[in-house]
Amino acid sequence: MSYARTAILLAAMTGLFLVCGFMLGGESGMLIALMIALGMNVFAYWNSDKMVLSMYGAKEVDKNSAPGLYGIVEQLAYRADLPMPKVYIMENSQPNAFATGRNPENAAVAATTGLLNILSQEEIAGVMAHELAHVKNRDTLIMTITATIAGALSMLASFAMFFGGNRNNSNPLGFVGVILMMILAPLAASIVQMAVSRTREYEADRIGAEICGRPLWLADALAKLESGAKRVDNMVAEDNPATAHMFIVNPLHARSMDNLFSTHPNMDKRIQRLKELAGQSGSQVQGPWG
């Protein structure tokens, strides 16, 4: 059901992009918007991982430069039956992490120095298991596409006034339609983007708990990360809010509510679900890092 909902939301975002193109330039504008959307998604498919890692200043590490983190990811990838992803560390005081890559064979996981400084080895394992769950579910590609289209919609809205001055197009609502698009398009894109993120986060929590074998490791980590992220600014994320949904906890300082306007699900609900999983799992597997 979650995959069906995600497909519907992605279709809705693509449709919104086409509608905006129509509002700006009629049928020709819609065709141009479709071509832009396809081009941006092809570009994102091949280059998004490099772009987001570079944006956050992530540095690749190996078993020599970061043996603890690399070893945890290596063991978890084996347990998840995944190829070993590239491992990155971001010099950022806000405790957080994300995964990226177009498929499991070209995946990367990244953690901030803030996360590594405040979490135990077990809690880091819980977080990395969550990120590998995104890789296993191919969420990294889905979330990249939503970020790309959301960014494109914001770009269209920014240029709406300029294009709206062309009275030779077939915009059915004229100047009023342009104004409405400027206001509503970025809002609607954010709603759909956040809905996609929430759908995938709950599932990644569940699969991540299965990968590491200890749901409470992830639950404890989430509580610490939520508290830490609220105290420490992540200025790169603040300047690029379209990437916020990629992180395990919201890197922005907007109030989090469990509805379509939140980047992430309500943290109390996420933790409660993990505790319920811990109660159901009975005997749990001890990781080799414990």
Can you list the domains of the chain with their CATH numbers?
49-148+184-281 (3.30.2010.10)
Q: Which two tokens stand for residue 274?
A: 């993990």
Q: Which residues are catalytic?
A: 131
Query: What angle in degrees, to the nearest 10, is found between the helix axes of 139-158 and 174-212?
Result: 160
Beta bridge partners of 90: 58, 112
Q: CA-CA distance, 130 to 202, in Å (whole number)?
A: 10
pTM, whole model, 2 decimals?
0.79
| DSSP track, 74-87 | HHHHHHTT-PPPEE
Low-confidence ranges of the chain (pLDDT < 50): 1, 165, 167-168, 255-260, 283, 285-287, 290
176-181: long-range contacts (C-beta < 8 A, 24 or more apart)? Answer: 177/23, 178/23, 178/24, 180/23, 181/20, 181/23, 181/24, 181/156, 181/157
Question: Could you read off the pLDDT of 155-172 as tens digits, one per residue?
Answer: 666 665 555 545 445 555
The CA–CA distances, whole Å, from 224 to 92, 113, 178, 271 equal: 16, 14, 44, 11
